[in-house]
A and B are shown apart, each in its own frame.
Chain A
Amino acid sequence: MTAVVVDEVTKSFGRTPALAGVSLVAGTGVTGLLGPNGAGKTTLLRMLATVLAPDAGRIRLLGHDPGKPDERLEIRRRLGYLPQEPGFHRGFTAFEFVDYVAILKEMTDRHARHDEVRRVLDLVGLTTVSGKKIRALSGGMRRRVGLAQALLGEPDLVVLDEPTVGLDPEQRLRFREMISRIGEGRSVILSTHQTEDVAALCGTVAVIHAGRTVFDGTPAQLIEQAAGRVWLARERSPDARLAWRTGTGEHRNIGDSPPAGVELVAPTIEDAYLLLIGDESVAVAA
């Protein structure tokens, strides 16, 4: 079943448009949302988490309309959500916080609930620190507490807003492993700045820019868009939209029209993303 259908959705905050007609379809597996700061990713994810309603357009989640209270409740029963800044009751232990969320997920049987809390804490590798206060946990561990609460009750749709931001490389790899496991058999929507995460994890990717979907396809299709537009040269090419000196001393140039005779190289997903987003992404990347 198609877990997420977003059709021409718009949203403004006062006079500031956040989404200007986003469309997205996502099924089983991990779907990545890429886009620069302010592109509207968090706004879209809050809508997918049923926290925010669109001004216009249509959203269907797990076959239901989140605009209708009864259907929204049904979605929330099958949804896991990790916001960008989850906000924790810092005086709680990790176990207490996840248990608190479990009650709010309507798990009223104490023994079954505690078993489920232990299961998700084990899944994210926090069993040994489950009795520690959240304020005493590292940033990476707190993110894992956030992920644990999102996985309670084995939700059919998991929405993760920049889960790897602020994590060190090892923690990021751990998160990747967890997310790839979560994505087996359910739908995961993952917002990120990290193109490597998308390449490593996602079966499909949508690129959002200025409140619109500018790409929707597989990571391979995204990379394909940059084929023939990335080249190595001794110097920074004037035709390049973006160029940088690599560790070998050569310049990696990205642009629409490579000069004749240059050495074209295989593009990465990052190259494709930068070409797609254009000058604004260059400014952000710089």
Chain B
Amino acid sequence: MSAVGLRTSWALGWNEARRLVLHPVYLLGAFVIVPTVGARAATGADLPSARQVFVVVTGVQLIWYGLMSLLAAGLVASLARRSRAQDVLEALPTGAAARTAAHCVAVLLGPALISVLLTIGVWLLERAQDEPFGIYTAAELAQVPAVVLGGGLLGVAAARWLRWRGGLLVAFVGAVMGTGWILAQGRFGWLAPWTTARSMLDDPDFAGGSAGWHAVYLALLCAFAAVFACLPDVRRRGRLVAIGAVIVAGAAVAGWAQLP
């Protein structure tokens, strides 16, 4: 991509990030998260209040913000197609590849950045306690924004590849069910694109993996989702396919290294 293209993608990314974080689909998520958080708060009533805040903030990000970011990013990325504005856009100097890159930037600058800030906030909250909770390590906390970023990038990829009505919903259901299925595969549950909280390690089949390698694994999956999203529209696919192959190889190594 040229320097002008990069500047345009960056400027558009900021523009789209603002729309993304204000997307009304996040309100929809409240219907899921309010009962979930309520249940968590009820069962953890005897926990210190700071720890409840910690659990709720990380839980909300994973269960609600990550999943809703998939939908929000998919809807923002497919807006031109759904509103039939493509004829206008196709006659402009910025092509579909740069627009998709901008949507990936928007996920990074919007939901993922918010998730990073929230995660740093809860980490500081834990550090401020006389007796840290010890629920998550730093490597495990780093996985939280990675899941949010991955959710958004998967939404962008779904918008570019599944260009039919209901395609995004299929991606959403597939991501949820697929993640759930992988998590249930004993030690191979580490391959799920999800966090590995220490509380999960109570399961003997799951214990013993590397949270640090899992964070690297998630970051590489995010990179692959971005490459995959951009693939349909780039002029020179060969270079991007090669980059994608390197990322997949790296993810395979990290995925193997993390296993118990």
Q: Across the interface, do B93 and A103 meet the contact criterion of CB distance under 8 Å?
A: no
Instruction: Please tell me if A58 contacts chain B, counting CB pairs below 8 Å.
Output: no
Taking a contact as CB atoms closer than 8 A, the residue among B79, B87, B99 that contacts A86 in the complex is: B87
Taking a contact as CB atoms closer than 8 A, the residue among B12, B85, B87, B94 that contacts A46 in the complex is: B87
Interface flags for A72-92 (1: CB within 8 Å of B; 0: not) read 010011010111011111100
Q: Across the interface, do B83 and A81 meet the contact criterion of CB distance under 8 Å?
A: no
A106 to chain B, nearest CB (A): 5
Instruction: Please tell me if A283 contacts chain B, counting CB pairs below 8 Å.
Output: no
For residue B93, which residues in chain A have a CB less than 8 angstroms away from its CB? 73, 76-77, 104-106
The contact size tier of chain B is 20 to 34
Instruction: Please tell me if B235 contacts chain A, counting CB pairs below 8 Å.
Output: yes
Q: Across the interface, do A103 and B11 meet the contact criterion of CB distance under 8 Å?
A: yes
Bound-complex Cα distance A85 to B83 (A): 11
Instruction: Please tell me if B88 contacts chain A, counting CB pairs below 8 Å.
Output: yes
For residue A90, which residues in chain B have a CB less than 8 angstroms away from its CB? 83
Taking a contact as CB atoms closer than 8 A, the residue among B79, B83, B94 that contacts A105 in the complex is: B94
Bound-complex Cα distance A90 to B87 (A): 16
Instruction: Please tell me if B8 contacts chain A, counting CB pairs below 8 Å.
Output: yes
Bound-complex Cα distance A103 to B102 (A): 11
Chain A, residue nearest B85 (CB): A87
Interface flags for B75-95 (1: CB within 8 Å of A; 0: not) read 000011001111111111110
Instruction: Please tell me if A130 contacts chain B, counting CB pairs below 8 Å.
Output: no
Q: Across the interface, do B11 and A86 meet the contact criterion of CB distance under 8 Å?
A: no
Could you tell me how many residues of chain A have their Cβ less than 8 Å away from some Cβ of chain B?
Answer: 30
Given A76-B93, A89-B79, verify A83-B8 contact (CB < 8 Å): no
Bound-complex Cα distance A76 to B94 (A): 9
Name the residue in B12, B91, B94 with the highest tally of chain A Cβ atoms < 10 Å from its Cβ.
B91
Say what secondary structure dominates the interface of chain B: helix
Bound-complex Cα distance A49 to B4 (A): 21
Q: Across the interface, do B88 and A76 meet the contact criterion of CB distance under 8 Å?
A: no
Instruction: Please tell me if A100 contacts chain B, counting CB pairs below 8 Å.
Output: yes
Instruction: Please tell me if B7 contacts chain A, counting CB pairs below 8 Å.
Output: yes
Instruction: Please tell me if B210 contacts chain A, counting CB pairs below 8 Å.
Output: no
B95 to chain A, nearest CB (A): 8
For residue A82, which residues in chain B have a CB less than 8 angstroms away from its CB? 88
Q: Across the interface, do B91 and A81 meet the contact criterion of CB distance under 8 Å?
A: yes
Taking a contact as CB atoms closer than 8 A, the residue among B12, B84, B91 that contacts A76 in the complex is: B91
For residue B80, which residues in chain A have a CB less than 8 angstroms away from its CB? 89
Instruction: Please tell me if A192 contacts chain B, counting CB pairs below 8 Å.
Output: no
Q: Across the interface, do B94 and A87 meet the contact criterion of CB distance under 8 Å?
A: no
Bound-complex Cα distance A77 to B92 (A): 7
For residue A159, which residues in chain B have a CB less than 8 angstroms away from its CB? 91
For residue A87, which residues in chain B have a CB less than 8 angstroms away from its CB? 83-88
Instruction: Please tell me if A247 contacts chain B, counting CB pairs below 8 Å.
Output: no
Q: Across the interface, do A86 and B88 meet the contact criterion of CB distance under 8 Å?
A: yes
Q: Across the interface, do B89 and A104 meet the contact criterion of CB distance under 8 Å?
A: yes
Q: Across the interface, do B15 and A83 meet the contact criterion of CB distance under 8 Å?
A: no
A108 to chain B, nearest CB (A): 4
Q: Can you list the 7 inter-chain pairs with the closest CB atoms, starting with the nearest?
A: A87-B84, A87-B85, A83-B87, A81-B91, A104-B94, A49-B91, A76-B93
Besides the known contacts A77-B93, A104-B93, 15 further A-B residue pairs in the complex with CB atoms under 8 A apart: A49-B87, A49-B90, A49-B91, A69-B235, A76-B92, A76-B93, A83-B87, A86-B87, A86-B88, A89-B85, A101-B92, A105-B94, A106-B7, A108-B10, A110-B11
